[in-house]
Amino acid sequence: METDAPVPVQKDTLIIFDTTLRDGEQSPGATLNMDEKLEIARQLSRLGVDVCEAGFPIASPGDFEAVRRIAEEVGPLTEGRKSGQPMTIAGLARAREQDIKRAYEAVKAAPRHRIHTFLATSDIHLKHKLKIDREECIEQVVAAVSYAKTLCDDIEFSPEDAGRSDPEFLTVVLGEAIKAGATTLNIPDTVGYTTPEEFGWLIGYLIKNTPGAEKAIWSTHCHNDLGLATSNTLAGVANGARQVEVTINGIGERAGNTSLEEVVMAIATRPQQFPVTTNIDTTQITRASRMVSAYTGIPIQPNKAIVGANAFAHEAGIHQDGMLKHHSTYEIMRPETVGLAASSLVLGKHSGRHAFKVRLEELGYGDLSQEELNQAFDRFKRIADKKKVVTDADLEAIITDEIYQPPEFWKLQYVHVTCGDHTRSTATISLIDPNGAELEDAAIGTGPVDAVYKAINRIVGEPNTLTEFVVKAVTEGIDSLGEVTIRIQPHNGGASSRTNPQTGAERTRTFSGHGASTDIVVASARAYMSALNKMLAAREEQSAVIGQASR
Ligand code: KIV
Ligand code: ZN
């Protein structure tokens, strides 16, 4: 089969609604702090996302403040955006006045803002969760959308669990929502239950049978419980949806949401198969993916489509042979299309600042500040002293370790361990405290990492449970950098809980940390410091927000 030729026909624009900062952040352990949310929102803007769902403002004062700052600081940006239009900032609200008001207060500073309200419509949810009947459901939807409409024009309504709702009942609810002022109707397959045929059919059926359907934009919101989220979303587009709700790397509750990069690249790679185009600058995908992974602490599986480490790797000899003859033999997308530049330089200990900067620019890190660049370059030099060749993967790890880090309350000064099979593992640690004083302590552990963590705990005194510890090699070879990702759950203090918008459950926050080094014990210490600093930053952020609110 020949590959698709360019199609000159006029196509609809597919609105890309990113919910990484809301549904994505609902994934267990994906807690992000204010600066990280702002940084991700800026990257989503550079990426060309049309609508950014920045959070669920009523969840906590911190969530409200993050959405408000994104609306104020990122909402107006247009630089580098293909559409030339600012990104719409949306806030989620249950179908209740307090939620809707809070969402509006949070998003209103953005030149383009949206209230996204939702109520479940499946009999399962009505009976067991909401304990209301269909009539009451319609009344609540009308009341919520009508109230939202008094505050702003751009209103999205979602019938939660639409995938398991009665389609005929949906046409009634959605028709009433349109009458009350909804401008976007989003159809969630909340539990990832449907198949592509069913979901595509549902979108087509609703557009055909809902009174006033032509006045609204129809949207998909698919979860990936059966691994069908991308297929279901694309089936929705084929049947008339003109907005898709997606997250970077497909992060989200349980098995996640539809991943932005898969949908966007399917449309970009197979234009003849889809009646739409997007405003996405695909060269920003890799950067967005790595940023989200670093900040959430959620690793990307190596074989993940588009953004996995192996997505463009050609291992098998027969494939490599074909690739050398012509890349199109085994490659359907060029790596540079998603922001992975082919390496023209090999960096090592003799490489200078200029070569380093050029390579970072090629990898999509062209906008680091001078200070960040200096910091990363110093680290590169230290690593290049130990490793003959510093690969792109090493550079990514350096950036992740040096730049994508929380504010440093406590700073790791040095780590010293002794360990082995005939000795007790001991660690001596030196830290700089938040006032600049150097503190040292030592501890014994079951292994070197345990000893290091115990020594750090003796100094910092922030009781917590380590819930996850993952170590992986950045590249092949014995001299590889080791990358450690951990998660901790505080016993008190730093763990503000927040409400899950759908289940109503209170969730205790966990904090991730990451570190990289040629020595995995040092990488583990750096990861632990990163998680502790994130926890302390969250506590500080929370008291600042509460202080502000009570003034
Ligand atoms: O999955 C879902 O139903 C949601 C709604 C709040 C849109 O995330
Ligand atoms: Zn969802």
Q: Answer yes or no: is 78 within a domain.
A: yes
d(CA 428, CA 229): 49
Query: Is there a contact between 382 and 496 (Cβ–Cβ < 8 Å)?
Result: no
Query: Is there a contact between 88 and 52 (Cβ–Cβ < 8 Å)?
Result: yes
Q: Count CA atoms within 13 Å of residue 333 on its CB side.
A: 25
Q: Estimate to the nearest angstrom the gap between the alpha carbon of 195 and the chain centroid.
A: 25
Q: Answer yes or no: is 106 within a domain.
A: yes
Same domain, 272 and 359: no
Residue type, 425: S
Same domain, 211 and 278: yes
Shortest-distance ligand to the CA of residue 219: 1
Q: Which of 261, 296, 331 is the last residue of a domain?
A: 296
79 C-alpha to ligand 2 centroid (Å):
30
d(CA 275, CA 285): 22
Q: How far apart are the first and last CA of the chain?
A: 67
Query: What are the two backbone dihedrals, phi and then psi, of residue 68, each rounded to the nearest 5 degrees?
Result: -60, -45
Same domain, 209 and 338: no
- Each of the 551 residues of the chain gets a pLDDT tens digit; together they read 556 666 567 899 999 999 999 999 988 778 898 999 999 999 999 999 999 999 999 999 999 999 999 999 999 999 889 899 999 999 999 999 999 999 999 999 999 999 999 999 999 999 999 999 999 999 999 999 999 999 999 999 999 999 999 999 999 999 999 999 999 999 999 999 999 999 999 999 999 999 999 999 999 999 999 999 999 999 999 999 999 999 999 999 999 999 999 999 999 999 999 999 999 999 999 999 999 998 998 989 889 999 998 888 755 555 556 666 777 787 899 999 998 866 556 788 899 999 999 888 877 787 789 999 999 999 999 999 988 888 888 888 899 889 888 889 999 999 999 999 999 999 999 999 999 999 999 999 999 999 999 999 999 999 999 999 999 888 777 888 899 999 999 997 544 567 788 888 877 788 999 999 999 999 999 999 999 999 998 888 877 877 776 66
User: Which is nearest to 288 in space by CA: 364, 230, 223, 219?
Assistant: 364
Angle at 467 between CA 463 and CA 472, to 5 degrees: 120
d(CA 228, CA 117): 25
Query: Is there a contact between 467 and 155 (Cβ–Cβ < 8 Å)?
Result: no
158 lines ligand 1 (CB under 6 A): yes
23 lines ligand 1 (CB under 6 A): yes
Q: Answer yes or no: is 549 within a domain.
A: no
Non-local CB neighbours of 336 within 8 Å, separated by 6+ positions: 283, 342
Same domain, 223 and 129: yes
Same domain, 182 and 329: no
User: What's 264's domain CATH number?
Assistant: 3.20.20.70
Same domain, 335 and 238: no
d(CA 364, CA 335): 12
At what angle are helices 34-47 and 61-69 packed, to 10 degrees?
40
Same domain, 236 and 127: yes
Same domain, 107 and 222: yes
Same domain, 290 and 172: yes
Residue type, 275: P
Give the residue, out of 19, 117, 118, with the most ligand 1 atoms within 8 A of its beta carbon, to mutate for a pocket test: 118
CA dist list (Å): 457 to 44, 240, 336, 464, 528? 37, 56, 44, 9, 10
Q: Which of 332, 367, 402 is the last residue of a domain?
A: 402
Shortest-distance ligand to the CA of residue 250: 2
23 C-alpha to ligand 2 centroid (Å):
6
Angle at 259 between CA 254 and CA 262, to 5 degrees: 145
Same domain, 325 and 387: yes
Same domain, 283 and 331: no
Q: Which domain holds residue 161?
A: 12-296
Q: Answer yes or no: is 426 within a domain.
A: no
Q: Answer yes or no: is 427 within a domain.
A: no
Structure tokens at 238: 């084929």
Overall domain count for the chain: 2
Q: Which of 402, 420, 437 is the last residue of a domain?
A: 402
Same domain, 34 and 108: yes
CA dihedral of residues 21, 23, 29, 33 (deg, nearest 10): 20
50 lines ligand 1 (CB under 6 A): no
